[in-house]
Amino acid sequence: MTGVGKSQTTLEFAYRSRHVFHYIFWIRAEDDAVISQEYSKLIGILGIAPADDPDAKAERVRQWLCTTQGWLIIFDNVESSDLLNMFWPACGHGSVLVTTQNSTLVHRAHAEVELKPFTEDEGSGLLLNYMKELEEGKYISTGYGKGDIQTGLWSTLASFWACRSSS
């Protein structure tokens, strides 16, 4: 389901886990060309010998992951399990987190978290918890509609936190 906050929740998890992992990599994973571009960036950041061939890039990053401890790699917005086969680290350590709308990818997971949209009351409650103003929370919540509050909620909270942080 789109717009329920999979990427935002994952971003928050990564932020809260920044002291647990030595390395956290965010890989946009819409298709193999995008993942290959992301792996090219990793090659540069990690100082791995460059490669022109996408398969060689993937293999070099996978080798680095398998020889390094304390990492989390996030594949965001995966559409197909075939995409992950070439890029999935083939080692028993490290952590992999996948966001997807494709429920057939669950077979790779040790654990699954399914996010569902907030109801109007849940969305209002969350906003009220941070904003403490009933009318403003209800107005924002109903403005985004009953089943689709998540996207608007995260941008609203992000704006609220940014304003709160700067004051």
How many residues are given for the chain?
A: 167
Residue 93: count other Cβ atoms within 10 Å of its Cβ.
11
Assign residue 11 the CATH number of its domain: 3.40.50.300
Residues 15 and 91 in one domain: yes
Average pLDDT over residues 56-80: 92
Residues 10 and 76 in one domain: yes
Residues 126 and 64 in one domain: no
Please tell me the predicted confidence (pLDDT) of residue 98. 87
Domain that holds residue 136: 120-166
Could you read off the pLDDT of 25-62 as tens digits, one per residue? 999 999 989 999 999 999 999 999 988 888 899 999 99
103 or 32: which leads in pLDDT: 32
27 or 158: which leads in pLDDT: 27
Report if residue 114 sits inside a domain.
Answer: no
Boundary-marking domain end, from 108, 128, 145: 108
Residues 43 and 103 in one domain: yes
pTM: 0.66
